[in-house]
A and B are shown apart, each in its own frame.
Chain A
Amino acid sequence: MSKTYDYVPEPALVKGNHDFSSINSLITDINLRPTPKGWYIAFGLSNILLLVLLGSIAYLIWEGTGIWGLNQPVGWGWAIINFVWWVGIGHAGTLISAILFLFRQDWRTAINRFAEAMTIFAVMCAGIFPAIHVGRIWVIYWVFPIPNSMAMWPNFNSPLLWDVFAVSTYFTVSLLFWYVGLVPDFATLRDRIKSKFGKIAYGIAALGWRGSNRHWWNYEKAYMILAGLATPLVLSVHTIVSFDFAVSIIPGWHTTIFPPYFVAGAVFSGFAMVLTLMIICRKIYGLEDIMTDDHIEKMNLIILVTGSMVGFAYLMEFFIAWYGQVEYEKAIFIIRATGPYAWAYWIMITCNVLSPQFFWSKKLRRNVAFTFFISIVVNIGMWFERFVITVSSLSTDYLPSSWGYFSPTIWDVLTYVGTFGLFFTFFLLFLRFMPMVAVAELKGAMPQADPHNYDPETRDYAPQEIEIPEPNKESV
């Protein structure tokens, strides 16, 4: 009988001929060598955008939310769209660091640090919008259960309040998770850096970490528990974000599919953002040995899966609108596809449903330039998804006499563009001062880290041979 099977080995996580020390240098040298000129240019540009953000927020506080394009009936505009968009992007970081960790996907080690940083900065950008959109920002503390002069408490029955707790918990836990991962790598930098100031700064950040295996023992436990906590957390956060819509009675919002649909969309856009950033950074910093084409392929597969889930959710919305036989529900979906915002709807369908389908082709999945292009297209599409959901449902609700068209003002645009300044300012600081790959975790995922890959006698590195058993002839 001819051989009907093939052994396909898992691709090596680290390409090239690396040992622990060379990986260590490859990543931490980026933090130790002098700041490249290009970094200053990028940082300067980000700072300009950050100033744009601060300026538009200042003007908003001075003048009020009237500077935005909000009207009746569209009382929720770009602020909520941008909030959901940024939070969604953040979710990929937690998915990579927590869920893929629980599934023992070792390839995550190349990108988890990076993606977690993206999560934190994206949630910061997201958090700005609900904070500034309230109009009277000086009483924003009313959203927290803090005693105030009215002797009133926030309403715990409201999804908007759930959102406050969900997003602030999410930010705090992500930050802790990120920091726990960073501690051993700060210790690495502390032991390598020459400058006195650097030694003190990294020394404080490393908390006196010395790589003790008694410490690692608790550390790994903590890391696993955090991953186990972050997994339901990340799912809950976007579920609760979707409750902001689904718990209301606006047509097109009041649907039970929203939580899973929002979570899938969040992961979809987040992976696209990770890819966008990763493809640029691995090129600039020469990390192709660590963030390999295999990583890009795996992430593209996730984009394909979640993109198809999002596409399926779009279909189901239409089906349920028809099947549920509620006139308003039916009407809103027809209006979405054919009405005044049809242009946005079809941008959304093209970017989110059609574009990831190219990744059925292995060749395209492994094409870096094409992936980069699609990753940006996906994030444009996901922005339009939130736009379609928010604006189309509000602008054409129950009473046709109150229908109106929404147009953003320059301040909507500037505030949104400005958040990129905030994001990239922090991201560039991260790239400059922190190891952008989890060095300790990456070393632990290398074959040299496994004591079984050593010869028992000479105790030299000798990877285990993989034996491929012949198939059982009877059962074939």
Chain B
Amino acid sequence: MSTESSENKLYGILAEVRNPKELIDIARTVNKNGYKKYDTFSPFPIHGIDKAMSLQKSKLGWIVLSHGLIGLTGALSMIYFMMVYDYPLNISGKSLMNVPAWIPVTFELTILLSAFGAVFGMFFLNGLPKLNHPLFSSENFKKATNDGFFICIEADDPQFDPEKVQHLLSVAGATNIEEIHDDA
């Protein structure tokens, strides 16, 4: 931990609001003012905040679909290889290409791979797991997993100007405005 935190790179400006309604309102304000690199934090997902923040549709569906297709084709080709090509077993003269009997395993593997895609794809899109984050340096931010609602405008934003941002947030009704620094 550095004592000269003011000399560290500014990560962004964090502000707190009282409730989900205020969070949506302030997110809309920040969004309308043209900020791109900002984020809101809440203990639970808030209905309608995607519109207020103009969030793009999640790409997760495509990840899941591609994984599901790998599961489907992978299962079918595995069973074909094992049952027809590599070690064909003649069971009472029945057809080796016994596709109806392959459906259960194919189905299960499709579901399994899709679920892997959904879970690991979600963490991948979110950039998790992450060992640390500049926001964790704020003691107040601990409330974000309890009953706190936060917005943070990041210093990477092209139109970021600390004073303007602080002014914007305080006019919009936010409190506990603080600067967050990278610990590097």
Contacts and interface: CB of A to CB of B under 8 A. Distances in A.
Interface of A: 19-21, 24, 145, 151-157, 159, 161-162, 165-166, 169, 172-173, 176-177, 179-180, 184, 187-188, 190-192, 207-222, 225-226, 229-230, 232-233, 236, 240, 243, 439-441, 443-444, 448-451, 454, 459, 461
Interface in B83-137: 83, 86-87, 89, 91, 98, 101-102, 104-105, 107-109, 111-112, 114-116, 118-119, 121-123, 125-126, 128-133, 135-136
Contacts of A188: 43, 145-146
A449 B23 CA distance: 11
Contacts of A152: 87
A266 B85 CA distance: 38
Q: Which of B20, B79, B87, B136 has the most CB of A within 10 A?
A: B20
Given A192-B146, A218-B122, A229-B115, A153 B83 contact: yes
A191 B49 contact: no
Contacts of B41: 210-213
Contact of B43 (A155, A190, A211): A211
A176 B115 contact: yes
B122 A451 contact: no
A220 B61 CA distance: 12
A244 to B, nearest CB: 11
B60 interface: yes
In the A-B complex, list the 4 residue pairs whose CB atoms are closest, starting with the nearest: A454-B21, A208-B130, A222-B122, A444-B44
Contacts of B50: 213, 217
Q: Which of B39, B122, B136 has the most CB of A within 10 A?
A: B122
B128 A213 contact: no
| B contacts with A: majority SS | helix
B39 A221 contact: no
Q: Which of B18, B40, B104, B125 has the most CB of A within 10 A?
A: B104
A208 B144 CA distance: 13
Contact of A229 (B48, B111, B133): B111
Contact of B42 (A166, A176, A211): A211
B25 interface: yes
Nearest to B83: A156
Given A165-B108, A208-B129, A450 B20 contact: yes
B20 A210 contact: no
A219 B126 contact: yes
A173 to B, nearest CB: 5
Nearest to B98: A157
Given A443-B147, A444-B45, 9 more contacts: A156-B82, A177-B115, A209-B128, A214-B126, A216-B44, A217-B50, A221-B61, A441-B44, A448-B19
Contact of A450 (B47, B53, B130): B47
A412 to B, nearest CB: 29
B183 interface: no
Contacts of B78: 145
Q: Which of B25, B102, B128, B133 has the most CB of A within 10 A?
A: B128
Contacts of A226: 115, 118-119
A466 B53 CA distance: 29
A357 B27 CA distance: 52
Contacts of A207: 123, 128-130
Nearest to B22: A459
Given A153-B82, A218-B125, A454-B21, A184 B145 contact: yes
Contacts of B39: 212-214
| A contacts with B: majority SS | helix
A225 B114 contact: yes
Given A188-B146, A207-B128, A218-B60, A156 B102 contact: yes
A233 B145 contact: no
B122 A180 contact: yes
A153 B86 CA distance: 9
Given A221-B60, A449-B44, A454 B19 contact: yes
Contact of B144 (A177, A211, A220, A450): A211
Given A210-B135, A454-B20, A217 B147 contact: no
A156 B109 CA distance: 13
Nearest to B89: A155
Given A176-B119, A221-B122, A444-B44, A459 B25 contact: yes
A140 B50 CA distance: 49
B1 interface: no
B47 A451 contact: yes
A286 to B, nearest CB: 20
Contacts of B22: 454, 459
B167 interface: no
B105 A165 contact: yes
Contacts of B82: 145, 153-154, 156
B119 A180 contact: yes
A151 to B, nearest CB: 7
B98 to A, nearest CB: 5
Nearest to B44: A444
19 contacts: A145-B82, A169-B109, A191-B146, A208-B128, A211-B41, A211-B144, A212-B126, A213-B39, A214-B55, A217-B50, A222-B118, A225-B114, A225-B118, A229-B114, A439-B43, A440-B44, A448-B19, A459-B18, A459-B22
Contacts of B115: 172-173, 176-177, 226, 229-230
Contacts of B83: 153, 155-157
Contacts of B32: none
B101 A222 contact: no
B58 interface: yes
B36 to A, nearest CB: 12
A208 B146 contact: no
A208 B118 contact: no
Contacts of A236: 104, 107-108, 111
A169 B128 contact: no
B147 A21 contact: yes
Contacts of A151: 87
Contacts of B114: 225, 229
